[in-house]
Amino acid sequence: MKIIIQRVNFAKIFVNNEFKGKIQKGIVAYVGVANGDCEKDIDFCIDKLINIRIFDDENGKLNLSVKDIKGELLIVSNFTIYGNTKKGRRPSYTDSARASEAQKIYNLFLQKLKNTDIKFETGKFGQYMKIVSENDGPVNLILSSDL
């Protein structure tokens, strides 16, 4: 599992051109599911996502997590994260989990995220989405359960 995270001041998501949700200060997280991902990958990534220190403390140091600042999350499924661009000009997505398996893992990810005290919004798996956000910093990182 890989998650691209972006620190944002706000974000909105539209699914099939219809408004779906918005967040204030927090993280936009683009979640990619790989072949073989399991519950262990989910647990690792959720722990990292809510506890990674990418927000400024009172001294301007990156010492606070989204949990610490009572921030919000926008979770977006994104199979293209596992696109392989090593050969040719068209990405290969063979490392991405099949849609049916990826959706199961993604839904379990969301279910487990509900067990945290972090407010979050989501898009809709496998649908066309538009995300409008204001990046802050910018701070962008890739979280990966591939150890």
Out of 80, 85, 116, 122, the active site residue is 80
Kindly list the distances between the CA atom of residue 96 and the CA atoms of 42, 73, 74, in Å, as whole numbers in the listed order: 15, 23, 21
- Quote helix, strand, coil % in the chain, to nearest 5: 20, 40, 35
Tokens standing for 144?
């990966």
Can you tell me whether residue 54 is helix, strand or coil? Answer: coil
CB atoms within 10 A of CB 57: 12
Token reading at 4: 């691209």
80 is catalytic: yes
Q: Which residues are catalytic?
A: 80
